[in-house]
Chains A and B, each alone.
Chain A
Amino acid sequence: MYHDLIISGFGGQGILAVGRLLAHTAMLEEKYVTFLPSYGPIMRGGTANCTVVVSSKPIGSPIVRNPQSAIFMNAPSVVSFEERVKTEGLILYNSDLVDKADSKRTDVDKIFIPANTLAEEAGSGRVANMVLMGAFIEITQVVGMKSAVKCLKEVVSEKHIDLFQADQAALIKGSEFARCHTPARK
């Protein structure tokens, strides 16, 4: 088993947090994993991205040019990374912030998820990242949803502990959405 993923969006959307969640969950499941964040002056409003590689074997490069999967939480991410996703790969879009018309690829599986809307329903607009991660896990089964939920407690920082319930609900909402909507090439 080998899977690599790029997650991209605005700083403040929890890009790195949700990447860490996936990495931590993979570690909990005793898989090999690397998590490489973009670093430096990232803050609310800037751009943030990270690369996560999960494998059953030791991982070579933590740097991935053409990922199998991508999660785009905002429109600039589509411009930066969409063309780099592997043919027949998978892209999850936050359709609350990404216009479907901006997506150019026709050779990958795509799923448009109203992540901010679902996050509001889960308790806070700030947990849209978890909605998308829930859907990613549901579609790819790279890690188990149960262990991801279990891991959440360890990964959520003290600063954001008030969002814990919403985080959990959002993960589940995302996975439910993915169960009802199959990614397609359109």
Chain B
Amino acid sequence: MSGAEAMAEAAIRAGCRFYFGYPITPQSELAEYLARELPKRGGVFLQAESEIAAINMVFGASVTGARAMTSSSSPGISLKQEAISYMAGCELPGVIVNVCRGGPGLGNIAPSEADYFQAVKGGGHGDYRNIVLAPSSVQEAADLSYLAFDISEKYRNPVMILCSAVIAQMVEPVEFMSPRRPEEVEKPWALTGAKGREPRVIKSLRLSEQELEEHNRHLQEKYATVKAKEVRYETRYLEDAELVIVAFGTSARIVSTAVETAREKGYKVGLLRPITLFPFPTHVIRKLAERVKKFMVFELSAGQMVEDVEIAAAGKAAVNFYGRMGGSVPSPEEDFEKIVDCYRG
């Protein structure tokens, strides 16, 4: 099964009953899968008139307490940013999949991970954060799709799954968790009709004095909790590593082969792969920076996550970078050469 299909199937199993989207390569297979499967399994698939309409439909479904999802690719995700900011402001859950393509602009349909800044640093307006998950295999795409719905609801915050077309288009074996009903958790905020109870209000407009600052404080406390509790990452060969490679998603997948080659040839190289991009494994890098000489960050961008690695390393270890842009992808051999240069340099 492809990564796009795996995310779609996992979403249904996680209790997603509403999908709204608008086609764009390289993620249309996700929507195609749900167009076929979701109506059969008690859900609603709707192809909206635009990306903006689709995310606002997610907003609408989410307001009622339903599990809802949309997906798109870079330029389409840019269009959705206003509503994502509104969702964060209203504290609404919702899952957004971004299968990045080469940019900026309409760019191309080749694999890229250059939407890191947009996903991790906000994207829309105001002081808000998305929780951002970055799968690096089809299995993980499925697992994180499942997880996205849970933590999105837990923190009442949009969750974005960020991946390149390699993850979405690649076919690998995948095992799914058994389907389950959407948890019957209390949602004391959901708008379900005010019969027999006080009306509830969901809004992001807060005009009275200091009301909005207070709300922002509450949001920041929530993000602090997310940072404390939800950091996920994978490590390889860190014990004696002198050089630690940091990469996520597709970059991590490619460079992992180069790391294996480096180890076979006796280079003390380790790998740290952030799975959550927000919250970022800052503390892990900070601790490593005290004992390793160098980090090297590999990205499918001009260098975005590298800034977070630099902040985490806080000048205690050198941070190097290698990236390919605009949909170009390095080979493991190319990454290996860069590792050796950095190791020796």
Contact = CB atoms under 8 A, between A and B. Distances in A.
Interface stretch (A36-44, A113-121, A131-139): A36-44
A18 to B, nearest CB: 13
A27 B138 CA distance: 14
Contacts of A151: none
Nearest to B261: A60
B118 interface: no
B332 A60 contact: yes
A23 B169 CA distance: 14
A80 interface: no
A12 to B, nearest CB: 19
Given A39-B165, A60-B257, A63-B166, A23 B332 contact: no
A33 B258 CA distance: 18
Contacts of A36: 166, 169-171
Nearest to A24: B171
Contacts of A35: 170-172
A40 B26 contact: yes
A64 interface: yes
A34 interface: yes
Interface centre among B26, B165, B169, B260 (most CB of A within 10 A): B169
Contacts of B333: 65-66
B173 A39 contact: no
Interface in A144-184: none
Interface size class of A (residues with CB under 8 A): 10 to 19
A141 interface: no
Interface in B281-327: none
A36 B172 CA distance: 9
A33 B172 CA distance: 6
Contact of A23 (B171, B257, B331): B171
A46 to B, nearest CB: 14
A34 B171 contact: yes
Interface SS, B side: helix
B157 interface: no
B323 to A, nearest CB: 15
Interface string A50-87: 00000000001111111000000000000000000000
B283 to A, nearest CB: 27
Contacts, number: 56
A27 B173 contact: yes
A47 to B, nearest CB: 15
A61 B169 contact: no
A40 B25 contact: yes
A34 B169 contact: no
Contacts of A110: none
Contacts of A34: 170-172
B254 interface: yes
Contact of A62 (B170, B173, B258): B170
Nearest to B26: A39
A62 B331 contact: no
B168 to A, nearest CB: 9
A99 to B, nearest CB: 29
Contacts of B170: 34-36, 62
Given A60-B256, A60-B260, A65-B331, A39 B169 contact: yes
A132 B260 CA distance: 32
Interface in B159-181: 165-166, 169-173
Given A23-B171, A36-B170, A60-B253, 9 more contacts: A32-B173, A36-B169, A40-B26, A60-B259, A61-B257, A63-B332, A65-B333, A65-B334, A66-B331
24 contacts: A20-B171, A33-B172, A33-B173, A34-B172, A36-B166, A36-B169, A36-B170, A36-B171, A37-B169, A39-B25, A39-B165, A40-B26, A40-B109, A60-B254, A60-B256, A60-B260, A61-B332, A62-B166, A62-B172, A63-B254, A63-B332, A65-B332, A65-B334, A66-B333
